[in-house]
Amino acid sequence: MSGDGAIHAAVCCGVVVVAGEPATILLLRRWAAMDLPGARSSHTIPTPRGGGLPIVIGLLAAAALTRGAPAVPFAAGVSFFGALGFADDLRGLTAMRRLALQCAGSAGIAALLVAPLGVPLVVRVAAAVVAAVWVMGFVNAFNFMDGVNGISASHALIGGVAFACFGEWHSDPFLVASGLAIAVGCLAFLPWNAFRAQVFLGDVGSYALGAALSILALTAVLRRIPPEAAAGPLALYVADTAWTLQRRIRAGERWIEPHRTHTYQRWCDVGWSHQEVTLMTASATVLLSLLGAVSLTGDTLLRAEADLTGLAILAVYLCSPAFFGHPALARERARPRHARRSPGPEPRREHELQRERG
């Protein structure tokens, strides 16, 4: 595929999202596919979920334009996990049924990925097991992290750009086309979700994007792109999910139940807005992607320094909620109790009351 072909695939995905999102929102409301706020939610008003459906359709259209053997597992992963997520958005699936379907889908995708490898059968089986665990694990991690406005679409955008750059460096047209398609599709979706969320990605979007990014990471490693480069755009999501999971298990909590104790959610709890959390986590992902790309230079010492710096950034991020509360909130908490503002009417309401009295 030429460079023009990659651009055409990306533009096609973006056009599908821009044209399809308004109709999708109307249909989701008609089907009552609404995300209702609860104790573990980060939003306060009912919002349609399933807005990632046009992204799934756009990525499949881009894969059809890309063609070639590498596009087959990519399209299979996006379509399977997108369909699974959409069924969950509309009807809801039990945890065991969802887990069984994820295992089956991940195994099939892994088999497609490792089948062309010219290695002994035992090695291919072992590689397929590792690939299946990775795909299923990252799909769930991506879904768990999709909890505030714009966060997952922003991270997928960054990941798509990163993999497109790796593909350009490695002269790999598939990585370029698929990465650009993910980036453009998510960029087209962000206006509907980043500020005043009119729709959420839903499981259809988070499952499909998680599958797409995990498959691109595996494809990059199989094409001999260094693992640090492939893992850089995904490292923050993996670290946050793994750290939260082990903390909940050690605390004796029922870790399979929904919660809001991820690091990014704890940032919200100490006073950061959705947009601030998205901006900070996206900035960290950009930095981790750049540090991962250092491995492409082939300089062993520089590569080791970049790896250690990336691990340090992840450690600071995971410990950050205890140290980086919102400045305004921190000042309010630091004031003596008697000096704090007492709750009362909002300024506009108080003004209206005074006018009525007058």
What tokens appear for 35 in the block? 């995300």
Identify the CA nearest to 308 among candidates 325, 291, 320.
291
49 DSSP β-pair partners: 200
pTM exceeding 0.75: yes
- With vertex at residue 241, the alpha carbon angle to CA 238 and CA 246, rounded to the nearest 5 degrees, is 120
Please check whether residue 270 is in contact with residue 326, taking contact to mean a CB–CB distance below 8 angstroms.
yes
Those residues with Cβ within 8 angstroms of residue 32's Cβ, 6 or more apart along the chain or in another chain: none
- With vertex at residue 152, the alpha carbon angle to CA 147 and CA 157, rounded to the nearest 5 degrees, is 170
What sections of 49-120 are H helices per DSSP? 53-66, 71-90, 95-114
Identify the CA nearest to 90 among candidates 82, 102, 78.
82
Identify the CA nearest to 202 among candidates 6, 335, 1, 31.
31
pLDDT of residue 42: 57
User: What DSSP string runs through 148-185?
Assistant: STTHHHHHHHHHHHHHHHHHHHTT-HHHHHHHHHHHHH
pLDDT tens digits for range 97-149 = 999 999 999 999 999 999 999 889 999 999 999 999 999 999 999 999 998 89
Please check whether residue 135 is in contact with residue 109, taking contact to mean a CB–CB distance below 8 angstroms.
yes
Maximal CA-CA distance, the chain = 88
pLDDT of residue 332: 47
What tokens appear for 340 in the block? 């704090």
Burial class (CB in 10 A: 0-12, 13-18, 19+), 246: exposed
- Predicted confidence band at 324 (pLDDT cuts at 50, 70, 90)? low
pLDDT tens digits for range 259-295 = 778 888 888 888 888 899 999 999 999 999 999 999 9
pLDDT tens digits for range 174-212 = 999 999 999 999 999 999 998 888 999 999 999 999 999
Those residues with Cβ within 8 angstroms of residue 329's Cβ, 6 or more apart along the chain or in another chain: 270, 271
- Distance separating alpha carbons of residues 88 and 82, to the nearest angstrom: 10
Q: How many CB atoms lie within 10 A of CB 166?
A: 28
Higher pLDDT, 258 or 219: 219
pLDDT tens digits for range 36-51 = 876 555 556 888 999 9
What tokens appear for 165 in the block? 């750059």
What tokens appear for 135 in the block? 């795909």
